[in-house]
Amino acid sequence: MLDQKKVFETLANHGVTFFTGVPDSYLNGFCNYALNCCGKRNIIAANEGNAVGIAAGHYLSSGELPLVYMQNSGLGNTVNPLASLADKDVYAVPMLLLIGWRGQGDTEPNHPQHKLQGEITPKQLEILHIPYTVLSDSDEEFEKTVKQAVEYCVSTRRPYGLIAPKGVMADPDKPNNVDDVYPMSREEAIEIILDNMPEDTIYSATTGRATRELFFLREKRGETKARDFLNVGSMGHASSVALGIALEKPQRHVVALNGDSAAIMHLGALAIEGSLNAPNFMHVVLNNGAHESVGGQPSVGHKLDFTAIAEACGFETVGKAVETAEELASAVAKLKDCGRASFIDCRIHRGLARKLPPIVFDHREYIDELINELKK
């Protein structure tokens, strides 16, 4: 991994001291240094397109070159603002784009959700007419690359990409930072929901730890996995998949097991979900106030009144966030047959209840089992 202190010193020497983006495990060294050392000059955004907008506003008001960081899966969220806001023929907004390169070559053999994204990452930048450099684990080369990139951005008023392969900006060991703000873990909360919903309920679990914990809870409990949709990619869209299922299968209960960061990423989905007649649909946000799967950087999840937002969108709720096992069980019992789409903000603590291996499974076989289950 590059020396992160030197990375930030190099950027500062070239006038880059403002950072915004969405944390990524391939960038956890960079993201954690920014979090610990940059204060208000580091903004963790709702999504990557949001970050490009923030960076544009920063440049327009300060004249200083910003840096936007993201996982390559988030490049799709940036296409519109990069093409129709930052482009040279529109407002010509320069910025550095630091992109974690998941799925490069054979680096993710058990995670096909990264395969195509890894293959097309450089091509996406080329289509957007954004030049780039693939970083190496060399402090000297990084300094040369930053000098070249900044000179390009300043002289052309256009973005420049810095693609970070595995190990260049990340420590391979992610700590399990457990706090005690709330008593429940995510895994405990998921199991309480499983215990209090009908056996044939369909679940859609969000990207990251929720998918892994649901997968291994099914094994621990000796239950079928055929009723679970594991949203291993497409962060922020698990609840929309769940809604689509719920609308088509009104006789089945459908639960979206979302994360606070994922819900925030595409918060507008709540407005659609709550406005529709889907009484069999329950949206649960497992809210630990963190981007836990990529390194534990904070989100604004614990600062939001998700319940008030959900009620304004048309959901039935219990009027407040739930914080204990008893409150969660009671909320599920009250809302599962309430006659409207329902929502629960479930407050949990950070950290993992137990160490779990990565999920390794045949994705097509797995989804075909769910499809067959939904034919019943």
Query: Does residue 139 have a pLDDT over 80?
Result: yes
Note the pLDDT tens digit of each residue in 7-30. 999 999 999 999 999 999 999 999
Q: What is the percent of the chain where pLDDT is above 70?
A: 98
Answer whether 4-164 and 186-374 agree in fold.
Answer: yes
Q: Decide if pLDDT at 197 tops 70.
A: yes
pLDDT of 354 strictly over 80: no
**What is d(CA 319, CA 3) in angstroms, rounded to the nearest whole number?**
48
Confidence (pTM) = 0.95
Rounded average pLDDT over 40-44? 98
Stretch among 101-110, 150-159, 230-239 having the lowest mean pLDDT: 101-110
Question: How many CA atoms within 13 Å lie on the side-chain side of 130?
Answer: 30
Question: Could you state, in order of their start, the residue ranges of all structural domains in the chain?
Answer: 4-164, 186-374
Tell me the average pLDDT across 190-216: 96
Which of the residue ranges 5-9, 28-32, 243-247, 351-355 would you say has the lowest mean pLDDT? 351-355
List, in sequence order, the alpha helices (H) in 41-173. 48-62, 75-84, 115-127, 139-156
Residues β-bridged to residue 346: 286, 322
pLDDT interval class at 335 (50, 70, 90): very high
Residue 352 has pLDDT above 90, yes or no: no
pLDDT digits 0-9 by tens, 68-96: 999 999 999 999 999 999 999 999 999 99
Buried b (16+ CB within 10 A) or exposed e, 255-274: bbbbbbbbbbbbbebbeebb
**Sign of the C-alpha dihedral computed for residues 225, 227, 231 and 236 taken in this order:** negative
Structure confidence at residue 295 (pLDDT): 83
Q: Which distant-in-sequence residues (6+ apart) come within 8 Å of 200 by Cβ?
A: 227, 252, 253
Top CATH class of 186-374 equals alpha beta
Which CATH code fits 4-164? 3.40.50.970
Question: Residue 353's pLDDT is what?
Answer: 67
